[in-house]
Amino acid sequence: MKLVEALIALIDEIIVITVIILIALGILFIYNLIDILTLIAIVGVYVLIVFIIGFKIAKSQLEKPKVGHESLIGAKGYVVEDIRGEGLVFVQGELWKARSVNGSFIPRGTNIVVVDVSGLVLIVKKYR
């Protein structure tokens, strides 16, 4: 859905720019300042540029967040200090306080995955 929303947000700018370019090219063509092959080449390059920019925007909208607590969800790590209620885990190069999803015991050395974040405490579960 984010991809569609991003492209819809940009569509009006793309339409305005396209109309201005087509009018300018039309005037140049009418007054024989450019020939048909040049006109086709310019339109082709313009379409390619719009496609590349649209692809980059779409790609950026589909990427996982790189900052904030959203970036931690789904991150994998391991238990440094047994989780009994709370413990310590190592995730993304840092030590974090952690709780297990259902309050269960998770021993030291167990691989975990972050399922949620509560303040500065990661909510984790065992990862195979």
Please count the structural domains in the chain.
2
Using CA atoms, how far apart are residues 26 and 20, in angstroms rounded to an integer? 10
- Residue-wise burial string across 31-51, b where 16 or more C-beta atoms lie within 10 A, e elsewhere: eeeeeeeeeeeeeeeeeeeee
Write the burial class of residue 79 (CB in 10 Å: 0-12 exposed, 13-18 middle, 19+ buried): buried
Q: Each residue of 30-88: pLDDT tens digit?
A: 999 999 999 999 999 999 998 898 888 778 777 776 777 888 999 999 999 999 989 99
Same domain, 90 and 43: no
Check whether residue 99 and residue 118 sit in a common domain: yes
Residue 87 φ/ψ, nearest 5 degrees: -160, -170
For 113, the domain range is: 69-126
Section 119-127 average pLDDT: 94
**Does 80 share its domain with 101?**
yes
Domain boundary among 62, 88, 111: 62
Last residue of a domain, one of 16, 46, 62: 62
DSSP state of 69: G
Whether 50 and 92 map to the same domain: the answer is: no
| Amino acid occupying residue 40 | I
CATH assignment of the domain containing 105: 2.40.50.140
